[in-house]
Amino acid sequence: MPHTLDLQFLGRSGVIATAAIPCDGGVILVDPGPTSCLVALTAALATHGYGLGDVRALLLTHIHLDHAGAAGTLAQAWPGLPVYVHAIGAKHLAQPEKLLASATRLYGADMDRLWGAFLAVPEPALRPLSGGESIAVGGRIFEVLYTPGHAVHHVTYLDTAERTAYVGDTAGIAVGGYVLAATPPPDIDVPRWEESLTAIAGLGPASLFLTHFGVVPDAAGHLTRYRAVLRRAADRAREAVRAGGEEPALTEAWVGWLRADARTVAGEDAAAALEAAAPFDQIWQGLARYWRKRAERDGAGALDAPLT
Ligand SMILES: [Zn+2]
């Protein structure tokens, strides 16, 4: 089984998890997290008897900073460390200017406090993927599945021996018994996301590993539940966009609803962890952008009917 490394993001546990998978000659990391958490990552690895020099490969589900921020720092410090990532993401890791500009639009002056430095991954370290590959590292074999929806460059890795699927954010966020749709801008695509959930289920995983947060033993049950959570959030956002109104009021209404819902189900602490993993205003922004783009493309009628 993978070790769940708690990165203690912003001093809080249960927000960002790195999977550490023991392998011949060391350990494989799925999503090493942001550079701001490198000290915590190092400490968590040490509790399992590993140092950063024992890392044999980085498997990135996608390049959002909470997942991949430290990839360049590690790849530069350990030349020869392979970094697996979807081809679209690989370009942005080699030349991070666009990725950082997009993240700065979301986080503004908070970039450095949240994520720390973001270094480019040297080209020779990159192993670009498109889905359908098999990766062999340290005696382990992973199947790669292309799983867009949360991000257009998102992949899932299936450990073929243990049947654990490393799904990043494709199966949402689960903390304290509450499941949250992970829908930040700019890439959200709900129908493609639903296809990705079907594809992951088709792999027949026994368990899932979520970046937020950790191992979920009942893979099939969680995927079914997440599909409903995503659908509910998407439909609620569709109705809010259709009803219209000023953006600050729409955002406030959304955040208020989600906060109350999360607190009721999961309690104060878990709700705070959920919000640290995915700020609720960004969940709104991602879904609202998705629906407004659809209405632009297909006409306002696109907002009339629930997803089918
Ligand atoms: Zn994430």
Q: Cite the residue boundaries of each domain of the chain with CATH code 3.60.15.10.
A: 1-133, 147-308
Q: Could you tell me the strand order of the sheet in which 164-168 lies?
A: 134-137, 140-146, 155-159, 164-168, 207-210, 214-216
Distance 61 CA to ligand 1 centre (A): 9
pLDDT in the model for residue 307: 83
**Residues lower than pLDDT 50 in the chain:** none
pLDDT in the model for residue 149: 97
Domain 1-133 bears CATH identifier 3.90.1150.10: no
Distance 63 CA to ligand 1 centre (A): 9
Q: Which of 204, 43, 221, 7 is nearest to 115 (CA)?
A: 7
- Integer Cα distance of 193 and 196 in angstroms: 5
- Amino acid letter at 95? Q
| 305, burial (CB in 10 Å: exposed 0-12, middle 13-18, buried 19+) | exposed
- Integer Cα distance of 63 and 71 in angstroms: 9
- Integer Cα distance of 122 and 274 in angstroms: 33
- Integer Cα distance of 37 and 44 in angstroms: 10
How far CA 245 is from CA of 29, 242, 250, 289, in Å, comes to 44, 9, 7, 14
Cis peptide before 213, with omega less than 30 degrees from 0? yes
pLDDT in the model for residue 1: 87
First-to-last CA distance in the chain?
Answer: 37
Distance 150 CA to ligand 1 centre (A): 9
- Integer Cα distance of 100 and 205 in angstroms: 34
pLDDT in the model for residue 246: 96
pLDDT in the model for residue 165: 98
- Integer Cα distance of 175 and 167 in angstroms: 15
Beta-strand runs (E) in the chain: 3-6, 17-23, 26-30, 55-59, 83-86, 126-129, 134-137, 140-146, 155-159, 164-168, 173-175, 178-180, 207-210, 214-216
pLDDT in the model for residue 106: 84
pLDDT in the model for residue 308: 76
Q: Which of 249, 59, 215, 247 is nearest to 138 (CA)?
A: 59
Distance 70 CA to ligand 1 centre (A): 14
The CATH class for the domain spanning 147-308 reads alpha beta
State the CB neighbour count (10 A cutoff) for residue 241.
22
Q: Judge whether 265 and 172 are in contact, CB under 8 Å.
A: no
Distance 301 CA to ligand 1 centre (A): 32
- Integer Cα distance of 106 and 114 in angstroms: 12
Beta-strand runs (E) in 43-103: 55-59, 83-86
Q: Which of 237, 175, 236, 226 is nearest to 197 (CA)?
A: 226
Distance 149 CA to ligand 1 centre (A): 13
Distance 183 CA to ligand 1 centre (A): 10
Distance 300 CA to ligand 1 centre (A): 31
- Integer Cα distance of 183 and 229 in angstroms: 11
Distance 299 CA to ligand 1 centre (A): 32
